Amino acid sequence: MFSFIYFAFASLLLSLPLLCSAAPLQYRRSQASPQKRDSYTLQDTYAGANFFDSWTFFDSSDPTDGYVAFRNQSAAMSQGLAKVDSNGTIIVGVDSTTTLTTDQLNAGEYRGSVRISTQKTYNGGLFIYDVIKMPVGCTTWPAIWSTATDSWPNNGEIDMIEGVHESTQNQVSIWLGGVKPSSRSISGSVSNLVENTDYSNCDSTTNDNGCPTMDPTQNGWGANFNANGGGVFAKLWDPEVGIKIWHFTRSNIPADITSKNPDPSSWGNPVSFLPNGDNCDIASRFKDHMLIIDITLCGDWAGSSYSCGGTCLAATGDPSNYVDAQFMLNSILVYQAS
């Protein structure tokens, strides 16, 4: 006890001069920086106890053919599938307690899950997602993405976080809305992955998969991501620049993100970059996106890639497959260049 008090007292003394000099140091540094950059103003904060007030719960059958029953808001909240815990952690998950019989599943009585979208729509911005945990488990197909409220795919789709089952890699996919662009060459200092992408093939009407790019790191998705306390995903959607996605592990989150003064020009290569240009006019191909979070089961991707034994449908009957099938987030912040 004595040594604890002594330690606390000593560290208080030590920290005082640091606290006092923090502000002027920061001020000097920003004055000294010669580099011109956009500055960003916080527009929307999705966080805290009222998080779900600004989202719509989608409760129709899954457009991607999953064996899932998306719950409306009152059902999702009363069943604990959508909640904000006492620490302000936002949780969106799959029912992990109900057992479903083969008869129930064959009758289309599927497992409860959540698909939510923002009531507000966007035509650009800098979107910062602080994610603590990704859903993992056989049959799962979670995604954090954005698209327009209607006329899909004409207004494009940006899949920032997406994977299936027990994958360890995040797949970022960008689907262009509108007519197919002619082939274009990609240049600039972007990751190899993006340079290898053929953007002439991103048109959703001719390529059913959009333009996928795999985050090469093994900690951007799934169990490894979760074991490290998650991290931050940033999406810059700037009609003049293009669309860029970054991923930072929890221990590598840039200080300017933490201090809510984000500076994408300092973040290095994105995981994915679709540049604006003659063949791909970002402003006309991406419009009026709502932000979406969902977890479906089986369906077009997780169903066709299922390999955990038996059928994907039968596996959805077992609640033990869903003990880790939750997204946990601290916040989603939306900034606009100013």
Backbone angles phi, psi at 148, to 5 degrees: -80, 160
- Write the binding mask 14 to 53 for ligand NAG: x where contact by CB under 6 A, - elsewhere: ----------------------------------------
List, in sequence order, the alpha helices (H) in the chain: 2-32, 73-78, 102-106, 192-195, 222-227, 255-258, 282-285, 299-302, 312-315
Count residues contacting ligand NAG (CB under 6 A)? 8
Our finding on whether 75 is near ligand NAG (CB under 6 A) is yes
Minimum CB–partner distance for residue 132 and ligand NAG (Å): 10
Listed in order, strand segments (DSSP E) in 65-139 are 68-70, 82-84, 90-93, 111-113, 115-118, 125-133
For ligand NAG, the binding residue among 11, 72, 183, 252 (CB under 6 A) is 72
Our finding on whether 337 is near ligand NAG (CB under 6 A) is no
Minimum CB–partner distance for residue 30 and ligand NAG (Å): 33
Our finding on whether 307 is near ligand NAG (CB under 6 A) is no
Q: 131 and 143 in contact (C-beta within 8 Å)? A: no
Our finding on whether 86 is near ligand NAG (CB under 6 A) is yes
Q: Which residue has the tokens 């989603």?
A: 332
List, in sequence order, the alpha helices (H) in 181-278: 192-195, 222-227, 255-258
* Structural tokens at position 281: 């006019």
Minimum CB–partner distance for residue 317 and ligand NAG (Å): 18
Closest CB to ligand NAG among residues 42, 75: 75
Closest CB to ligand NAG among residues 60, 87: 87
Our finding on whether 60 is near ligand NAG (CB under 6 A) is no
Closest CB to ligand NAG among residues 86, 187: 86
Our finding on whether 259 is near ligand NAG (CB under 6 A) is no
The whole-angstrom separation of Cα 112 and Cα 211 is 30
Specify which residues 246 forms β-bridges with.
234
Minimum CB–partner distance for residue 183 and ligand NAG (Å): 48
Listed in order, strand segments (DSSP E) in the chain are 40-46, 55-57, 68-70, 82-84, 90-93, 111-113, 115-118, 125-133, 140-148, 157-162, 171-175, 211-214, 231-238, 242-249, 272-275, 289-297, 326-337
Return the range that interacts with ligand NAG (CB under 6 A); candidates 86-94, 227-235, 252-260, 267-275: 86-94
Tell me the Ramachandran region of residue 260: left when phi exceeds 0, alpha when psi lies from -120 to 50, beta otherwise: left
The whole-angstrom separation of Cα 116 and Cα 70 is 9
Q: Which residues contact 238 (CB under 8 A, 6 or more apart)?
A: 124, 126, 276, 282, 337
Show which residues are catalytic: 157, 162
Length of the chain: 338
Our finding on whether 74 is near ligand NAG (CB under 6 A) is yes
Our finding on whether 85 is near ligand NAG (CB under 6 A) is yes
Our finding on whether 195 is near ligand NAG (CB under 6 A) is no
Minimum CB–partner distance for residue 74 and ligand NAG (Å): 5
The whole-angstrom separation of Cα 117 and Cα 288 is 12
For ligand NAG, the binding residue among 87, 185, 196, 259 (CB under 6 A) is 87
Minimum CB–partner distance for residue 88 and ligand NAG (Å): 9
Our finding on whether 109 is near ligand NAG (CB under 6 A) is no
Closest CB to ligand NAG among residues 89, 104: 89
Q: Which residues bind ligand NAG (CB under 6 A)?
A: 71-72, 74-75, 85-87, 89
